[in-house]
Structure 1
Amino acid sequence: MSRWRLKSLARDTRGATMIEFAILAPIFFAILTAILETSVQFFAAQVLESGVYDANRSIRVGMAQQDGWTVDDYKENVCNRLYGLFGNCADLYVNVRPIGDFRSADYSVPLDLTCEKDCDWTEDEVWTPGGSSSVVLVQVYYRYPSILQFPYAPNRLPDGRTLMSAATVFRNEPF
Structure 2
Amino acid sequence: MYRFRPDLGIHRDRSGVTAIEFGLLAPVFLLILCAWIEVGLCLMMESTLDNAVRDASRLIRTGSATEATFKAAICAKMPVIPCASITYNVQSGSSFSALSVIAVSSTSTLASTGFNTGSSGSDMLVQVAYSKPAFFSSLLKAAGFGGNILIMTTLAFQNESY
Q: CA deviation at 1:143?
A: 0.9
Q: CA deviation at 1:12?
A: 2.7
Written as runs of structure 1 = structure 2, the 5 A alignment for 1:1-175 is 7-8=8-9, 11-64=12-65, 69-70=66-67, 72-84=68-80, 86=81, 88-109=82-103, 111=105, 113=106, 122-123=111-112, 125-146=113-134, 147=136, 148-149=139-140, 151=143, 159-175=146-162
Task: Give TM-score scaled by structure 1 length.
Answer: 0.73
Paired AA for residue 101 in structure 1: S
Q: Aligned residues: percent identity?
A: 30
Report the more deviating stretch, 22-31 or 44-53.
44-53
Helix, strand or coil: the match of 2:90? strand
Helix, strand or coil: the match of 2:8? helix
- After superposition, the C-alpha distances for 1:89-115 in whole angstroms (9 at most, x for unaligned) are 21211111211112222122252x2x6
Paired residues of 2:121 and 2:160 also in contact (CA < 8 A): yes
Unaligned runs of 5+ in 2: 1-6
Helix, strand or coil: the match of 2:100? coil
Paired residues of 2:110 and 2:129 also in contact (CA < 8 A): no
Cα RMSD after superposing both structures: 2.5
Task: Give TM-score scaled by structure 2 length.
Answer: 0.78
| In structure 1, C-alpha distance between the alignment counterparts of 2:24 and 2:91, rounded to whole Å | 55
Unaligned runs of 5+ in 1: 1-5
| In structure 1, C-alpha distance between the alignment counterparts of 2:109 and 2:36, rounded to whole Å | 28
Report the more deviating stretch, 162-171 or 74-83.
74-83
